[in-house]
Amino acid sequence: MTDTQRYARLAAHAPLLDQTLRGIEKEGLRVDNRGALALTPHPAALGSALTNEHVTTDYSESLLELITGTHTRVDDLIGELADTHRFVQGALGAELIWNQSMPAALPDEAGIPIAWYGKSNTGMLKHVYRRGLAERYGKTMQCIAGVHYNFSLPEALWLALDPADGDARAHRNRGYIGLIRNFTRYAWLLMYLFGATPALSRDFLHGRDHGLQTLDADTLYLPHATSLRMSDLGYQSKAQAQLKLCYNDLETFLARQYTAVTQPWPAYEAIGTHRDGQWIQLNTNVLQIENEYYSIIRPKRATGRCERPITALAERGVQYVEVRCMDIDPWTSTGIAPEAARFIDAFLLFCATADSPPFPEDGRCQRSADNFATVVKQGRRPGLTLDREGTPIGLRQWGEQLLDLIEPYAALYDQTQGGHAYAESLALQRAKLADVELTPSARLLRELRDCGLSFHDYTLRQSGEHAAALRAQGLHADRAAFYAEMARKSVSDQAAIEACDDVDFDTYVAKYHMALKRPF
C-alpha cells in the first residue's frame, strides 16, 4: 500500500483521531534560591514518591517527576501539567523547580542523594536499582532532566491502516513498531526544532574532556549545537551501545532486550552486587532491568506490581510510545508549550502512517543514529548536510520536505478538533527552518550573550520568575483539594504496601528476577 493510499484510509477514519491519547512526564530538579541542588528530602506535602501517581522522583531524591493523566486534547493536557506545577511549587517553600534540562550546581558525586521510596521491598527495589545506576554511570548523569511525551492511537485506527491478516494486537504491534522506525529516521528534526541545550555549566563535566568552547567562566557551549543533553556528553553507556535495537519487529526487540537483562557484563561483574553487606546493584547484567535501556523512543505497556515490562509487552502488546528526546522548554513554566505538543502529535501521526520499511542489515539504522548525533551537536551549522539513504541532503531541504509531508496530518487533527491550532504550530516550525535564529538553541545562546549572565545565573533567574508566576496563579480550591487528597492517600498506600511484605529483600529480588519470562 502506498503512502497516498494509507493517508486516504486515515482520512476516511479521521473522527477516530479524536480518541488520540497523550500524556506527559516532566522532570525537574529541586534547587535552593542560589540554584544549588536541594539536599532536602522529598517534601512531605507531595506525598509518597512510591505511590503518588502524579508527583514522584526520578533518579535523585532531588529530581522531581510530574506525571499527567492521558488526554484527548492538548489544552487539557497542558492545563493539568500546569496545575501540577502550581501544586508542587506551592509545596516547595523557598525551593524552585530548575527549568532547564542540564543540571543546576551539583555537589560532588557522593553528595547527590539517591531517591528513597520507603522500606518496602518494592521501594527498596527502586532504590537499589538507582544505586546501580550510580555505580554504572555516575550520579551526575542521572540529574539530567527532560520531557517524556506519551502517545497512543485508538485500536480501530490501527486496524483501518493495516489491511493485513491478524488479530487486533498484531495490527497494533506492527503499527507502533513501524511508527518507531520512522521516528528513528526523522527524530533529528525534533532536535533542530526544539533542542534547547546548546550550553551547560562547566561544573557539570567535572573536568572531563569535552571539546566545548568557553562562553564565560561558568558556561561552555558549542556554537551550532541544539541539544548537548542528547549528545555524547549526556547519558551514554558503552554496555548498551552493543545492543543495536533497530525495531524491525517487536519479537526481535524483546528477544534482544531479554538477552541484555540476563547477560553479564564484565565491568559490572567487577563491581558486584554487594559492598559492605549492602546491595549496590540488582545484578551484573548489561541492563539491571528493562527500564535501564536508554533510547529516544520506547514501546510501552502499563505493568502490574512486580510485572516485568518484557512480559507485559510480549503478552499484551504495545499500548503506547514514549518519546524521550525532548528538552525542557526553559521559557514556559511547564517545560513544554502547547504548540510543541501539537507538532509532536502531527509528527507521530505521520510516522505511524507513512511507509516504514524495516532497516536492512547494512548499517542504515546507524545512519539514522548518525544523523541524530550530527544535529544535536551541529544542527545549526550553515550548509549542514545529512545522510538520507546514502545520499547527502541539506538539513533545511530535508526538513522542509518533511514538513510538507506532515502538514496533511496536522490538518486532519484540526479537522477533527476544530480550529487551526495544529496548522499554526506547523507554521511556527517552518519559520525555524527558514530562520535558524528562531530555534530555541539559537535563542538561548543569544539571550546569554545579551544579558551577560552565565548559564547558571540565567537559568536561576528564569526558574525564579516561573516559580513566582506559579505561586501567584495558585490553584482553584477543588484542584488544591484534589492534590492534597492525592498526597494523603499516597502516604497510606505506601504504608499498606510496607505492611504486606512477607519475605526479606534478598528473596524478593530473587523472585523478581525469576518473574522474567523469555518472550518468545
> Span 479-493, mean pLDDT?
98
Confidence of residue 518 (pLDDT cuts 50, 70, 90): confident
φ, ψ dihedrals at 197, nearest 5°: -130, 65
pLDDT at residue 166 is higher than 90: no
Q: Which long-range contacts (CB under 8 A, 24 or more apart) does 362-368 make?
A: 364/389, 365/184, 365/244, 365/246, 368/184, 368/185, 368/187, 368/188
Amino acid at 177: I
Amino acid at 56: T
Instruction: Give yes or no for a contact between 266 and 168, defined as CB atoms under 8 angstroms apart.
Output: no
pLDDT in the model for residue 73: 98
Instruction: Give yes or no for a contact between 222 and 195, defined as CB atoms under 8 angstroms apart.
Output: no
pLDDT in the model for residue 360: 81
> Span 271-289, mean pLDDT?
97
- Select from 392, 383, 359, 386 the least CA-distant residue to 374: 386
Residue with cell 547484567: 285
Amino acid at 47: G
**What percentage of the chain has pLDDT greater than the value 70?**
97
Confidence of residue 216 (pLDDT cuts 50, 70, 90): very high
**Continuous segment of H or E residues that includes residue 428:** helix 421-434
Split into its structural domains, the chain has a count of: 1
User: Between 477-500 and 74-91, two packed helices, what is the crossing angle to 10 degrees?
Assistant: 70
pLDDT at residue 480 is higher than 80: yes
User: How far is it, in rounded angstroms, from Cα 323 to Cα 45?
Assistant: 30
> Span 72-96, mean pLDDT?
97
3-state secondary structure of 519: coil
pLDDT tens digit string along 113-131? 999 999 999 999 999 999 9
3-state secondary structure of 225: coil
Instruction: Give yes or no for a contact between 188 and 379, defined as CB atoms under 8 angstroms apart.
Output: yes
Least confident among 99-108, 391-400, 407-416, 487-496: 99-108
User: How far is it, in rounded angstroms, from Cα 128 to Cα 509?
Assistant: 10
- Does 519 fall in a domain? no
pLDDT in the model for residue 362: 52
Owning domain of residue 322: 3-514
pLDDT in the model for residue 460: 98
pLDDT in the model for residue 436: 98
DSSP string, 357-392: PPPPTTSHHHHHHHHHHHHHHHTTSTT-EEEETTEE
Amino acid at 263: Q
pLDDT in the model for residue 226: 98
Confidence of residue 138 (pLDDT cuts 50, 70, 90): very high
**Continuous segment of H or E residues that includes residue 26:** strand 21-31
Instruction: Give yes or no for a contact between 387 and 398, defined as CB atoms under 8 angstroms apart.
Output: no
pLDDT at residue 474 is higher than 70: yes
φ, ψ dihedrals at 182, nearest 5°: -65, -40
Distance of CA 282 to the CA centre of its chain: 23
Q: Give the CA distances from residue 191 to residues 75, 119, 234, in Å, rounded to whole numbers and listed in that order.
A: 23, 40, 14
Question: What nine digits make up the cell of 202?
Answer: 562547566
pLDDT at residue 239 is higher than 80: no
Instruction: Give yes or no for a contact between 308 and 290, defined as CB atoms under 8 angstroms apart.
Output: yes
User: How far is it, in rounded angstroms, from Cα 382 to Cα 91?
Assistant: 46
Q: Where are the alpha helices (DSSP H) in 187-249?
A: 188-194, 238-241
pLDDT in the model for residue 237: 59
Residue with cell 531517591: 115
User: How far is it, in rounded angstroms, from Cα 237 to Cα 133?
Assistant: 11
- Kindly give, in sequence order, each residue whose CB lies less than 8 Å from that of residue 440, ignoring residues fewer than 6 positions away: 194, 195, 196, 327, 329, 330, 331
Is 335 exposed, middle or buried, given 0-12, 13-18 or 19+ CB atoms closer than 10 A?
Answer: buried
> Span 222-250, mean pLDDT?
80
pLDDT tens digit string along 432-473? 999 999 999 999 999 999 999 999 999 999 999 999 999 999
Residue with cell 518507531: 180
User: How far is it, in rounded angstroms, from Cα 514 to Cα 237?
Assistant: 26
pLDDT at residue 243 is higher than 90: no
- Kindly give, in sequence order, each residue whose CB lies less than 8 Å from that of residue 463, ignoring residues fewer than 6 positions away: 31, 35, 96, 97, 98, 99, 100
Mean per-residue pLDDT of the chain? 94
Please work out, in degrees rounded to the nearest 5, the angle formed at the alpha carbon of residue 395 by the alpha carbons of 389 and 397. Answer: 90
> Span 176-187, mean pLDDT?
97
- Select from 242, 272, 266, 235 the least CA-distant residue to 132: 272
pLDDT at residue 234 is higher than 90: no
pLDDT in the model for residue 376: 98
Confidence of residue 165 (pLDDT cuts 50, 70, 90): confident
Tell me whether strands 21-31 and 213-214 are parallel, antiparallel or unpaired. Answer: unpaired
DSSP string, 408-426: HHHHHHHHHH-SSHHHHHH
Residue bearing the bigger pLDDT, 374 or 305: 374
User: How far is it, in rounded angstroms, from Cα 63 to Cα 169?
Assistant: 36
- Does 520 fall in a domain? no
The residue ranges of DSSP E strands in 32-131, in sequence order, are 55-57, 63-67, 96-98
pLDDT at residue 236 is higher than 70: no
pLDDT at residue 363 is higher than 60: no
> Span 341-348, mean pLDDT?
98
Query: Where residue 171 sits, what CATH number does that domain have?
Result: 3.30.590.20
pLDDT in the model for residue 238: 59
pLDDT tens digit string along 23-71? 999 999 999 999 999 999 999 999 999 999 999 999 999 999 999 999 9
User: How far is it, in rounded angstroms, from Cα 237 to Cα 244?
Assistant: 12
pLDDT in the model for residue 245: 64
pLDDT in the model for residue 364: 55
DSSP-assigned letter for residue 307 = -
pLDDT at residue 303 is higher than 80: yes
Confidence of residue 242 (pLDDT cuts 50, 70, 90): low
**What percentage of the chain has pLDDT greater than the value 90?**
87
pLDDT in the model for residue 346: 98
